[in-house]
Amino acid sequence: MPFFFTLKYVLFMVVLQNALAILVAVLIESRARSKALFRTIFFMPNMLSMIIGGFMWMFVFTRVLPDLAVRTGLSFLDRSWIGDPSFSFYAILIVSLWGGVGYLMVIYIAALQGVPSSLKEAASIDGAGIWQTFRYITLPMIYPALTIGLFLTLNSSFKVFDAVFALTGGGPGRETQVIALNIFEEAFGFSNRYGYASAKAMILFLIVLVITIVQLRLMKRREVEA
């Protein structure tokens, strides 16, 4: 069912995309050199259309990985990444993370640059480790950026279309069909049920609106407590 597959996708994306973006931002900011190079490398996927990126990854999953598995003997790479629903979900996640982490990374880098270095130095003098400094000083200081990151990820995940369309088209069968793709097929497929598609689009809008309002209120409360 498109709704449950979309919900599963949203849960994975909200957690993984923000966690990876924060991790990449922290690692890049910790480097003394080559910051600009790594920022450019991770942001480059955002300069491409996700449809184009999806077709590029389609070639990787169907041609490059099987050939690499034969050459290296790494059998776990030789999977039906597109044809098997259990693997196609992870293929969609990989492509979506590839295209979305870099954008959030820029937001988190800007937030990390606003954290006073004096606080980190004071924590280090008091004996705090890297994880303790990040948890009790850095993370509370970047809560506003985290609120924005969660907001953007929630909205884009519920409306995901291009990555699924380019990779699987909702298949095999309808195992990887998301709500946006289902609405597209209702409106422009063989049925041409525009009214039905509009009703589904309004329901999706209301779901995203309610979840966004709840998320913003919860995160704003955490910002005040932090």
135 Cβ neighbours under 8 A, 6+ residues apart: none
Q: Confirm if 90 and 16 have CB atoms less than 8 A apart.
A: no
* Confidence (pLDDT) at 108: 94
* Confidence (pLDDT) at 75: 76
pLDDT tens across the length of the chain (226 residues)? 788 889 999 999 999 999 999 999 999 988 878 888 889 899 998 888 888 888 899 898 888 888 888 888 777 777 888 888 778 899 999 999 999 999 999 999 999 988 888 888 888 887 778 888 888 888 888 888 998 899 899 888 988 988 898 888 887 777 888 988 888 888 887 677 888 888 988 988 898 889 888 888 887 776 655 5
Instruction: Return d(Cα 37, Cα 51) in angstroms, integer.
Output: 25
Write down the pTM of the prediction: 0.88
Q: Domains of the chain: which residue ranges?
A: 2-225
User: Which CATH fold would you assign to the domain 2-225?
Assistant: MetI-like fold (1.10.3720)
* Confidence (pLDDT) at 170: 83
**DSSP string for residues in the chain:** -HHHHHHHHHHHHHHHHHHHHHHHHHHHHT-SS-HHHHHHHHHGGGGS-HHHHHHHHHHIIIIIHHHHHHHH--GGG-S-TTTSHHHHHHHHHHHHHHHHHHHHHHHHHHHHHTS-HHHHHHHHHTT--HHHHIIIIIHHHTHHHHHHHHHHHHHHHHT--HHHHHHTTT-STTTT--HHHHHHHHHHSSS--HHHHHHHHHHHHHHHHHHHHHHHHHHHHHHHH-
* Confidence (pLDDT) at 190: 67
If 0-12 CB within 10 Å is exposed, 13-18 middle and 19+ buried, where does residue 54 land?
Answer: buried
* Confidence (pLDDT) at 225: 54
